Structure formats: structure tokens, C-alpha cells
Structure 1
Amino acid sequence: MGYVETLEPGTFTLADLDTLPDDGMRYELVDGVLLVTPAPLPIHQTAALELAIRLRAACPVEHKVFIAPLDFQPTPQRSLQPDVLVCRRADVGPKAIEKPLLLAVEILSPATRSKDLVLKRRLYEEAGVTSYWIFDPAKEELTVLELAGGTYEQRAVVTGKETFDAELPFPVRIVPADLVD
């Protein structure tokens, strides 16, 4: 099952998001279109948590690491919830983060694969998110994209027990196989 679009395109607002139930579904907004994704599977949650733990351990004090659900609202028409994100501590608002993220991470699942690989990649790129990591737990594969001149360039693809020594958003070592263990 892919993500579900509801209501008339272009009619949903950020204010409407506040009226939705806390029912385990993930609600995101893209230019007036509500995207609804089912609750993640255990392997997805394991990968998100393990990655967040590693990022948090290396995180400098001026940054913050969060896991979903937390809204990133780069425009008044968009509200996204990366699985894991890193931002500047000073950019954390009372309800959401509006300034460009230092890192957005999406964990692929059957329900989110096309949204994460195409739509969210474009939206994060347009929003000026410095780094976008895509992790496929089934393949134990991490794809790292970094913004260069307003466009994402692939920095690395690491699989299994290979190591990725990130420089952005800060130095941290990631081994894909360890994220699903």
C-alpha cells in the first residue's frame, strides 16, 4: 500500500493538521494535499531508533536530534515528518521546525518507498536540507545525498558491514548492518 491522498488537492492547511486524531498514522502536508502513511513496521522503528542513538551520541551541543513524529514546516503549505532529523538547537520552535534541516533521514518501507525516493527527495532539496539519508533496512543500504549548488549529489552508498564516516551534519560513523541488528 502506498501513501494515501485525501480531500481535494490544494485544500488542506497546517491548521487542519491540528484537528487530526492521534491514531498512529503519520500525517504530512504537501501543497494542500494530505499524505497519510500507516504506522511503521518494527524493522523500520529499529533502524530509526538505532540511527538516532548513534547520531545523538556524536551530536554537538548546538544541534538536536529528533525522531518522528516531529513536523518540519519549510513553507506554510508543507509539513513533513522525517523518520530522523538533525537541526540547529536554535531552530527548534514550540510546535515545529521551519528553518532548513541539517539532516533528514527516511527509512524505506513498502508503504513509503516511492514517496521517500522521489517526492521527499525533491521537497527536502527545495527546502535546502543540507543532507538527506535514505536507509533501506531490507538491503541494509544507506544512500547519502548532500546539497551542492541547490541540488542533491550522491555522496555515498554503503551496504551491510561497510562503514560510512559522515562529515555532515557532524562527524559520525554509521554501519548499515548495525541499524537493523
Structure 2
Amino acid sequence: MATIEPSTERTILPGVPPYTVDDLLKFPDDGNRYELFNGSLLVSPAPTPLHQRIISRIMLSLMQAEPPHLETLTTVNVRITDKDYYIPDIVVVPLEVTDKVGLMFGPSDVLLAVEVGSPSTRMRDEGLKTLAYAQARVPIYWRVEPDEGPALYVYELDGDAYGPPAVHKAGSVAELSRPFPLAFDPAAFAA
């Protein structure tokens, strides 16, 4: 059996920290997901099959329930500021905005941002992105944790911050009214 040696090649990234969105646009397409938090680079590897399955099933649930004036999309660019840039796993946006947006959505375009957790992103999704999406005034943020069955954490904007999340565990039906009426058992996302 042949052994595979790890690559010794290194990706050289253009620009100098703190990075800007303009720097990020010059990065190579190397299979990593690059995001920015206050100019600091956040790097995530390609998602696992379970992660992709959960994203696909959430997308399907949202698309089947969405009203005609809204659209559910995956892995879109959201530019918060010149040094803050995220790629949520899923967003819900007004349909009229999708026809006008070029490369990046603004935070005011996003009605719902969804992040599906992984061991490498859990702290980021639970802490940093919760604060960042609230500061950007994204009305609703869902955090899905696959290793909890999966569990769905729903954050809703209350003034300038999210209130404590409503937690929906696998095996019980989550009945949600925003951004539109929707009911599901989070367990179905991983099945």
C-alpha cells in the first residue's frame, strides 16, 4: 500500500494583516473558506458530508415553507464592514435583493443567517458570530449543533443584541414564526 506524504507547499496569501475584504478577494481558490473578523483571518476547511447533509435538509425545509417574496441561499458572501466578512451556511433574503446583489450581500439584506457547527467552528459560531450578526443587526440567527442530536439554537434580535437562544432538541418539534412559519424536528436534518 502506498503512503501519501503531506504536502509541504504553503499557500501564500496576498496582503498584510489586518486584512480587508479587498485583500480577501485576491486570495487563491485553495478549498478553504476564508472569513474576516475585525481584519483577522478565519479559515475553515471544506465541510464534512454530515455538515453538508444538514445544510441541504435545512435548505429544503426553508425553501418548501418560504413565501414567494423571500429566497433561501447557501454559502453567500456577507460584507459587514471593510474588515468583517462572513460566509453563512444558509441565509434567507428578500427575492428582490438577490436580483440586485453582485458579489456580496450587506447585513441589512439578511433576514436569517444559519451556521451549522463543527468541532473546528463551534466556539466561533457560538461566540464570535453570535455577537457579529447581532451587531450587524441580522434579525435572526440559527446555530445548529450536529453533535447534539442535532440541536437548533434560535437567536432573535432584541434591541442591539440577541436575547438568550430558544433551544430545540432532536426529538421535539420546533415551531417557528420568523422569518416565516415553519415547523420541524431538528433530528430530521441529520437522518
Matched, 1:126 2:132: no
Superposed CA deviations along residues 102-154 of structure 1, whole A, max 9, x for unmatched, are 11111110110111010000000000011111111111111111001121113
CA contact (8 A) 1:86 1:104 kept: yes
* Offset at residue 17 of structure 1 (A): 1.6
CA contact (8 A) 2:176 2:183 kept: yes
Matched, 1:89 2:101: no
- Residue matched to 1:47: 54
**Counting strand residues as a fraction of each chain, which structure ranks higher?**
1
* Offset at residue 8 of structure 1 (A): 5.3
Q: 2:146 is matched by which residue type in structure 1?
A: P
- Residue matched to 1:3: none
Superposed CA deviations along residues 155-178 of structure 1, whole A, max 9, x for unmatched, are 521111211111111111121100
Matched, 1:151 2:157: no
CA contact (8 A) 1:8 1:33 kept: no
State the TM-score, normalized to the length of structure 1: 0.90
Matched, 1:168 2:178: yes
State the TM-score, normalized to the length of structure 2: 0.85
- Residue matched to 2:3: none
* Offset at residue 41 of structure 1 (A): 1.1
Q: CA–CA distance in 2 between the matches of 1:175 and 1:130?
A: 22
- Alignment RMSD (CA, Å): 1.6
- Residue matched to 2:10: none
The answer to which structure, 1 or 2, has the higher relative contact order (CA under 8 A, 6+ apart) is 1
Matched, 1:71 2:86: no
Identical aligned residues as a percent: 34
CA contact (8 A) 1:142 1:176 kept: yes
Q: 1:165 is matched by which residue type in structure 2?
A: E
* Offset at residue 13 of structure 1 (A): 1.4
**Rg larger for:** 2
Q: 2:88 is matched by which residue type in structure 1?
A: P
Q: 1:90 is matched by which residue type in structure 2?
A: E
Moved over 6 A (4+): none
How many residues of Structure 1 are paired with residues of Structure 2 in the alignment?
174
Q: Give the secondary structure class of the aligned counterpart of 1:27.
A: strand
Superposed CA deviations along residues 26-59 of structure 1, whole A, max 9, x for unmatched, are 1111222221111111111111110011001111
Q: CA–CA distance in 1 between the matches of 2:50 and 2:123?
A: 18
Q: 1:97 is matched by which residue type in structure 2?
A: F
Unaligned runs of 5+ in 1: 1-5
CA contact (8 A) 1:91 1:99 kept: no
- Residue matched to 2:65: 58
